[in-house]
Structure 1
């Protein structure tokens, strides 16, 4: 009967495998709206039994509770435990670069000068020690020669004078060098105090993954580690190229990440899942409604007011960096090939899909908002996936023409893009208002007349007509005491459409150099008890 190995406690030493680092590169990344899920793969040599491996380094921002390690290949290898271990390591002293401050450059220059002056002092001290030894040898020779009766007064005098002269010269140089070193030490201490007060150089945080595995037999095994990390996000972006009646739309993912490590040659997946959303429903609170009798003044009058109402649509807020509008369903997009994203916090564009489709265009005008006529291009989404809301770089035959915005578009649905204003069209808007009261009912009638003067300035070689779609709006009443009526008999020409939102539309054909005047007349009538109109 054989004994089954028992996994030791995490704090106990494991003599089977020494604590060595194994590379744990990033192989796949799933970018979410405000974070990323990182997958790593390592191939290690395992002995039989229980082993503890130190893999990494990894990003210190790894979320511990999302860490998961497994052996996908099986083969008798089982992961018993995995955890992230972090440690602070002082940064290595590196020379300053062009992006560092002048104070850091000064500290570096003083340190270099201090090192050079220290080497000069050491050479002078060694030279003086050698001269002292030479003087001692010469005096010993003089004593021995005088004892034997050998007198060489002239040579001994010359040698002693030469040694004394060199000792005096080098001693003066040594004094100057020591004084300079003292000045450098004072200047360097002051510069370091200023640097410590102005710029802190914190230790760098490193992280590793400690994995405890059990292998039935010795051999190579593959380990896969996954975890979430913050400081990474993505947003969709597009590039639309219009040529003739065709539109080429390129879908890209713009990725920002500052996780502390580069993603090199990783498989990138982009998801609209929001893992940060709460899984619990909001708490219910009481909303108390109370009723009261209207006053006599409130019964006699009805207060109304004109207000601007924006037609609401679903989608992210436009304030700051918008979120990802996915139409309420999680969408997943994958990059066609592995890509690299450095951890510099800058935007990096990753190509996703490209499709070419037929496109139709029209010239649209909303004179109440702008005197310009805009070219609107409509096309069908043939990308094979939903087009998420995002900015679009617009390109025509002359090159880059501006930037637009694409709304969420389902696969196969129609979409539209604005390619900027047309220089050959102008619209001038004039308004008139008349007010009167009917004699029988006493109702107040406000008549508004809007005249739109539409002009086209064409080049000499243009011969075809261009249809301009003009949209104007009329008020929409929310109370029965106020009525809004479009007087079609007074409109010239009559509008082609009036929708429920009060938007009036004309399709106006304009020949080269043509001019048209559109007249819109509507009435707003209110009962005598209505106030504020």
Structure 2
């Protein structure tokens, strides 16, 4: 490879003003160019065509590797390469000479971007000529129709005159002079005149209609011709590369640059396949046994959009999670002001308690098996990821999404029917999956929308958060309509007459029913309040078949529902508050 050099117009001018390099650089000039040691400062002639080879899409831009085959002469010269978007970032342009034969022979010493605008008609010459021919043809048809209408009008006037003459002649004939043969002749004559007049009227109407259609066609063609002939400014960019060659030879110049108006986002498809054992236990509705096995096929696509104006045909597409627009900056520091005030006497005598729903934040799923001993940190596992399409792709510059498959893996899953009666009366099928690498190095799963399917049926859409390599995660695969629950809450309140303390007893009863002909094993999750105040105590009462997570207040129980069966689960808890406590209920 020849030595690559990149510079914008201003950088090249500053370096040239200092005397250039050993191989001969610019004698002067900035972005507008100047005389070089080997020839004119600006590339002459039409830009050389180029083709995109590799496109790497980032979050908000793309990096393009483009190549052009050119013939260079001896000495220094500027080569113009076209096909570049007007949104190119000049600071990122790099140029080099590719090919084994160019090693040490041809050198690239500078590269710059020139933007130019020229006026051109909205339509090409061929389209304008076609519209002109169409307009002339429509005008010719309108003229022919007008002449036909004129002939029909003259014949119509002539026939009207003949009928008037016939009527005048008939009025002069005596009433008793008519003979049958002569009357028949007169009747035939007038009928012939009426038929000819009707024909002339029809021909005149047809001619008027043909003329109207031809005039409409001529007006439309003239309007399209006027619109197509309007000249509008067209902007284009070319990359000019300064090349030094010892002798005339063909070379391949490779450009690397970044361009805006191109983005990509990941999206997934999760397809659940139930194992035979799980299918036998579940029936047609899904996994009915707690811990039943199955597999989830995860397919990841890169949805790419580009409106750069470039032609990306049969390119090697890469998709990176790096963010070149983000620079490392220290956060802005601000004062965190704390204020203290003396408690009022009324505040000392009472404690106001508020109730709230708290989302439990956990680092990871909290269950399932990890595939790695230690999770990667920022330093050893936070490198940007690059995904590459398996085959060349074409990304049209129309601003519409193009989906390219970048990953596919099949992972074992643990299936369970889960029920949250306080939130929803139906059971959901949940799959717990560990993001394993399948013998290789596991790669994380990017956050994005996911379509969930069970077998050949699409269940719905969901949102998948970022999943680290080797971490367990869960996916929902729809509702099992066969399992239903009815939840009732009974509450009793008691206030002590002497101390003023309050007791609130609540009893929750769940009635679970199985409408199918298969056994259903369901994991039921309920909750009780958790006190953060010493003056409020919460105690779990009778809870047969429930396991309590005292830290978060979750109750979990497993129940087996027989076919067409019904079971009942219940638990109770008691809330005790001192007299000085003001409860929200």
Within 5 Å, which residues of 2 pair with 1:207-356? 207-243=237-273, 244=275, 245-312=294-361, 330-356=384-410
Q: Are the structure 2 counterparts of residues 314 and 30 from structure 1 closer, same or farther at C-alpha, using a change threshold of 3 Å?
A: farther
- Alpha-carbon offset, residue 499 of structure 1: 5.2
Aligned residues: 444
- 2:197 alignment partner in structure 1: none
What is the aligned counterpart of 1:9 among 22, 28, 51? 28
Residue of structure 2 aligned with 1:63, choices 81, 89, 93:
89
Give the structure 2 partner of residue 86 of structure 1. Answer: 115
Please give the secondary structure, in 2, of the residue aligned with 1:65.
Answer: helix
Using the size of structure 2 for normalisation, the TM-score is 0.67
Aligned equivalent of 2:433: 379
Distance 1:202 1:279, change over 3 A: farther
Unaligned runs of 5+ residues in structure 2 are 1-21, 145-207, 276-293, 365-377
Check the 8 A contact 1:404/1:419 in 2, yes or no: no
Distance 1:118 1:407 in 2: 66
1:478-501 CA-to-partner distances (Å, cap 9, x unmatched) read 3223222222xx22x231242522
Match in the other structure for 2:104: 75
The answer to whether the 8 A contact 1:446-1:525 is kept is yes
Match of 1:410, SS state, is coil
In structure 2, what is the equivalent of residue 321 of structure 1? none
SS in 2 for 1:203: strand
Query: Residues 440, 30 of structure 1: CA spacing in aligned structure 2 closer, same or farther, 3 A cutoff?
Result: farther
Structure 1 residue corresponding to 2:553, chosen from 473, 479, 502: 502
Q: What per-residue deviation string (whole Å, max 9, x for no partner) do you get for residues 287-336 of structure 1?
A: 33222211112222222211223334789xxxxxxxxxx99653222222
Change (3 A) 1:478 1:25: farther
User: Is 2:390 aligned against 1:368?
Assistant: no
RMSD value, Cα:
3.7
More deviation, 371-380/218-227: 218-227
Instruction: Describe the SS at the equivalent of 1:525.
Output: strand
Q: Which residue of 2 aligns with 1:156?
A: none
Contact persistence 2:76–2:242 (CA under 8 A): yes
* 1:363 CA displacement: 0.4
Alpha-carbon distance between aligned partners in 2 of 1:339 and 1:189, rounded to the nearest angstrom: 40
Q: Contact between 1:110 and 1:188, CA under 8 Å: does it hold in 2? A: no
Q: TM-score, normalised by structure 1?
A: 0.73
2: CA distance, partners of 1:5 / 1:231 = 37
CA contact (8 A) 1:78 1:215 kept: yes
Structure 1 unmatched ranges of 5 or more: 96-106, 124-175, 316-325
The match for 1:26 is: 52
Change (3 A) 1:480 1:9: same
Change (3 A) 1:254 1:121: closer
Q: Which residue is equivalent to 1:484?
A: 538
Q: How do 1:379-458 and structure 2 match up within 5 A?
A: 379-383=433-437, 384-438=442-496, 441-458=499-516
Task: For 2:537 and 2:232, locate their aligned partners in 1 and report how far apart those are by CA, in whole Å.
Answer: 71
Q: CA deviation at 1:337?
A: 2.0
Asked if 1:44 corresponds to 2:70, the answer is: yes
State the Cα deviation string for residues 452-475 of structure 1 (Å, max 9, x = none).
21111113xx3xx33211111222
Question: Residues 221 and 426 from structure 1, CA distance in 2 versus in 1: closer, same or farther, beyond 3 angstroms?
Answer: same
